[in-house]
Amino acid sequence: MFQILDSIGVFVFAISGVLSGLNKRLDAFGVFIIAFVTALGGGTLRDVLIGKTPVGWMGNLTYLYIILLAYFVTLFFKRHLERLRVSLFLFDSIGLGVFTIIGIEKGIEFGLHPIICITLGTITASFGGVIRDILCNEIPVIFRKEIYATVCIAGGVMFFLLKRVHLNQDVLYLLTSLFMISFRLLAVKYKWYLPSLYKKD
């Protein structure tokens, strides 16, 4: 089940990467690379930082195939994606939750402090987008106006709070994910933003 959600996350993140690449008028190779780093860049950075090498996607070709599928699906159906906007947003939020949990678990596996685990969860879920934006020559959107990373951090705190009460792992994952998904939906619906710190001057 969790594996399926992870695959859905990769798929949806890759679609958003393809759309970014098309938007920047990249060629077929460039668009694929942007899809790849959007989907797997966060996990790759996490693996490099903790020393889990060769990095994850090198040992499991499934991720590559999912990204290829997302690539062609997006190219062929991009006229229709607008109609799926709400579904895509929901799946993207699922990806956010699943990726955060995967990053946290990897930190626990390496015996790291909960704060570092939450950092790794946030990197896993949100730094693919950072690398995408750097490659596209933009200041990363999550540094400017998205509440993305905040959701990851809040989800990570929730994860460790829930973990204290010794829940069954499935329940722990489910509650953490639901909390993050709800948080994000509310954040977008009610336009919650982090303060820009700028106007205070």
Residues within window 140-179 making contact with a copy of itself, judged by CB under 8 A = 140, 142-145, 149-150
Query: Does 19 sit near a copy of itself (CB under 8 A)?
Result: no
| Smallest separation (angstroms) from a copy of itself to the CB of 61 | 6
Q: Reduce the secondary structure of 91-119 to three states and give it as a string.
A: HHHHHHHHHHHHHHHHHHHCCCCHHHHHH
By CB under 8 A, residue 108 contacts a copy of itself: no
Q: Which of residues 67-86 bind a copy of itself (CB under 8 A)?
A: 75, 78
Under rule CB under 8 A, residue 190 binds a copy of itself: no
Complex with a copy of itself: residue 166 or 195, whichever CB lies closer = 195
CA-based angle 156:64:30, to the nearest 5?
Answer: 95
**Nearer residue to a copy of itself within complex by CB, 44 or 177:** 44
Using rule CB under 8 A, residue 134 touches a copy of itself? yes
Q: Which of 13, 35, 2 is nearest to 101 (CA)?
A: 2
Q: How far is CA 108 from CA 93, 99, 159, in A?
A: 23, 14, 12
Q: Is 53 in the site for a copy of itself (CB under 8 A)?
A: yes
Query: Max Cα separation, the chain?
Result: 51
Residue 126, amino acid: S
- Helix H or strand E encompassing 129: helix 114-135
Residues forming contacts to a copy of itself in the complex (CB under 8 A) are: 21-22, 24-31, 33-34, 44, 48-51, 53-55, 58-59, 61, 64, 75, 78, 110, 112-113, 115-116, 130, 134-140, 142-145, 149-150, 193-198, 200-201
